[in-house]
A and B are shown apart, each in its own frame.
Chain A
Amino acid sequence: MPEPQTLLRKGALEGVRVIDFSWIVAGPQCTRILGDFGADVIKIENDANMDYIRASRPVGGSRSPNRSPLFTTLNRNKRSLTLNVMHPRGMELIKDLIKKSDVIVENFSSRVLEKWGLGYEEQKKINPKIIYCSMSGFGHSGRDRDFVTWGPTAQAISGLTYMSGLPGEESAGWGFSYMDHTGGFYGTIAIMMALIHRNKTGKGQHLDLSQVESGIGLTGTAILDYTVNNRPFRRDEMPPGNRAPERGIAPHNTYPCKGEDRWCVIAVTTEDEWGNFVKAVGNPSWTTEERFESMRSRFENQDSLDELIAQWTINHTPHEVFEILQGAGVPAGAVQTPMERAEKDPQLKHRNFIAEIPHEELGKAKVESIPMRMSETPWKLERPSPLLGEHSAEIYTELLDVSPEELGTLYEEGIA
């Protein structure tokens, strides 16, 4: 890795080069954050095997591979290189790129890189300091290593789907690929830990991630309740819906609001907050009833408590409830729609959450920014998601020393 000498670093990961074979959501989520932190992420695809998400809901119904909204947010701050690894010259060029890189990321099923002849042992021969992060469904060892996952699969197997829902009903689960996001986070976390370790020891390593295992890691309390108390999470009163039996507090739930299918949430966590809540809703007489006099009695009588609160919330919009209760010091929120988050939420606006940058085909790329501010290495939207092959010429000629003549041949023979 080039040792940057300057103290004025553009990004926290400046000087780190990432070979990104990843696709769909989990892998691109991982490398997106590396790119956001300033790494040079080179996304490798080719015309026949492009990132599937390039075709997801293209704006204007076009067949262009450059117009998918989800692709746009997952792949900003990356460069695109088209290269066919199945061609011997393509493989040579990849090996040259590995010499000049720090990290390799892929989220194929577990034997793909080995089949290419590019498993970790081979990578290590080319560059002993390489950090190889594989993000498969079940990991690179074990009897089920060939099983495959998408986000919903990993959520189901890990237990996360089951943990979301109303008691006595089917699972509500997650309405999106939470484990693609979070599996991606664990890839990013592992890679940065390995980079820190390499700074200290000079050693690279293979990071063997399993999307299901990263999901299981989020269920720690439920696992302990079983191993310590022999109490399964699969039991009559579980999952807990929107209530908080683990904390024994009430009210803690969703409540219906004015409007079609509109909801707010209220979470009263202390006696002080209950006092504030009672005042904020206008001291109705039921709040003085004995069955609601303590946190414990409110928790025990929360069915009736929730009904009474709903009679108040139904006369307000979710954001009215939010403002009235927050104004009184009570934790409450609106179940916000995408429109409200994108256009109205004044906090997100204040924090410049939606960022924009010109994009050749979309006019403007609009993306979710990285959710933190760093005082020394602030996030920048340096470039929009790359057009397919947008940076091939510069990477081949500047980084891989391909002559302009050979570059023409690479394109003609379908290698680039």
Chain B
Amino acid sequence: MIEQTSQTPPERTGGALEGITVIELCGARGHFIGKLMGDMGARVIKIEPLGGAMERQIAPFMHDDPHPDRSLFFWAHNTSKESLEINIEAPEGQEVIKKLTATADVLLEDFEPGYLPSIGLSYEDLSYGNERLIMTSLTAFGQDGPYRDYKSTDLVALAMGGIMHSCGYDDLPGSPPIRPSGDHGNKIASHYGLMGTLAALFNRHFSGKGQYIDASVHEACNSTTEHALPTYLYEGENVFRQTGRHHSTTPTPKTLCKTADGRYLIVFQLFNNLNSWLSLVGWMAEAGMAEDLQEEKYKDMARGGSRGMRAATDTTDSDHAFEVVRRFIASQTSEDIYRGAQRLKFPWGQVRSPEENLFDPHFAEDRQMFADIPHPEIGEGVSIKYVGRPYRFTESPWDAFRAPLVGEHTKSILSNDIGYTEEDLNALATNGIISY
């Protein structure tokens, strides 16, 4: 068991959102918004039901111990938040939400449409007396429309949003469209929910007024499929999925190439322009593997640049060139091809598993992409390495602290922010409103 220690969150270091208070009523759909805001200095109070958020039950767990304070999924999505564990189904719990939002800047929520209004916590209820409040509702399909009450998960969102139609295999007969793992439907929607919230915060600086944002995962995913909709809207054609590369309306050469050490690289932009083609063929020739690619006809293809490449993709010559390049790649290690190609300015990339970046000195050492975050509840002086900042601010830096334990800040928030006395807290605990 982890020892429960009631903690005051660490001092912040001047992040861009310092001074902004966010009340978060979110599960898996929207919890990433609060994390991204908290990591940039906002004070984020996460409201959790008694026993803790459902996401605390999602694996993997620290040392595979399924404890609500040990879910690594929860940790990854809930850094830089305080936890208030309270029953908002009860009037006393609703009163607490009203008191907190009376002075808060932002309320984030991802309940089903209509739920918060049904317990007296609509935007009208909450902004009464605090017209500066910004409330962002992130739902599966939006606050209105025929699908409003339909149920969704990340898998459903990626299917309905058209993303899965573009992802999968063209050379594995009978294989299904693939959902890229990692809760990306929720993340796409959270990115948009965050963008709307930030725009509203900027606007409020000038207008003095907050606003209500109705954001939908369905629309967010549908607007994140690159060529798929523009191609249909203007050409009337559906793109189809292809292994490890872009969707298309006509087959394109496979860009996933296997290396001598059994790894893969993404290899593309072969015929970008004449210079890059000549340097590629020169590199292959040094290894004695250029075969016939020094012939004039390939230079003509390369001269055509991107148009030439596209025009050439259906031809035997282009297929042959790809095959020769594939043989060259198969004779070398993944590291040699990746570094060699990048030295020649080809945008080729190793297909890495996420943890492999922990050992890439560019990210791990030079850019300090990973952050050691203290976990005193596990042991004195214990820190754990997390994925760090997704952007580098030079004036108002990213700075995260660990996710809260269940209800870790219930007492401090209710006493310090709301002014409840010891007696008030005992009454709430007796009535099953808080666990304390």
Contacts and interface: CB of A to CB of B under 8 A. Distances in A.
Interface in A132-176: 137-139, 141-150, 152-166, 169-176
B396 A194 contact: yes
B431 interface: no
B165 A173 contact: no
Interface size range of chain A in the complex: 35 or more
B405 to A, nearest CB: 16
Interface in A317-372: 322, 326, 329-339, 341-342, 345-348, 350-351, 353-354, 362, 366, 368-372
B145 A351 contact: yes
Nearest to B140: A331
B391 A189 contact: yes
A38 to B, nearest CB: 8
B201 to A, nearest CB: 6
B390 A229 contact: no
A193 B40 contact: yes
Contacts of B40: 193
B411 interface: no
B354 A156 contact: no
A46 B55 CA distance: 50
B347 to A, nearest CB: 5
Given A142-B366, A193-B198, A351 B394 contact: no
A175 to B, nearest CB: 3
Nearest to A33: B195
Contacts of A376: 200, 203, 207, 209-211
Contacts of B235: 57, 59, 69
Contacts of B234: 57, 59, 69, 72, 362, 366
Contacts of B214: 372-373, 375
A347 B146 contact: yes
Interface centre among A155, A176, A269 (most CB of B within 10 A): A176
Nearest to A58: B234
Contacts, number: 514
A189 B198 contact: yes
Contact of A55 (B211, B307, B347, B361): B307
B208 A206 contact: no
Contact of A218 (B142, B184, B232, B351): B184
A161 B348 CA distance: 13
A7 B73 CA distance: 42
Interface string B138-155: 000111111110111101
A120 to B, nearest CB: 8
A195 interface: yes
Interface in B365-381: 366-367, 369-370
A182 B59 CA distance: 25
Contact of B223 (A195, A240, A254, A369): A369
B187 interface: yes
Contacts of A125: none
A4 interface: yes
Contacts of A334: 159-160
Given A156-B351, A227-B386, A193 B193 contact: no
Interface in A38-84: 52, 55, 57, 59, 69-70, 72-73
Interface string A230-243: 01111000011110
B369 A12 contact: no
A138 B362 contact: yes
B178 A150 contact: no
Contacts of A339: 232, 238
Interface of B: 16-17, 19-20, 36, 40, 58-60, 62-64, 72-73, 75-77, 123, 141-148, 150-153, 155-157, 159-162, 164-169, 172, 175-182, 184, 187-189, 191-196, 198-203, 205-216, 218-220, 222-235, 238-239, 241-247, 255-256, 264-266, 268-269, 306-307, 342, 345-358, 361-363, 366-367, 369-370, 384-396
Given A189-B195, A192-B195, 19 more contacts: A7-B209, A59-B235, A70-B227, A142-B362, A142-B366, A143-B362, A143-B366, A169-B172, A170-B243, A175-B239, A189-B191, A190-B393, A223-B386, A246-B58, A254-B176, A331-B156, A333-B159, A341-B232, A372-B216
5 contacts: A164-B181, A190-B393, A233-B355, A350-B144, A376-B200
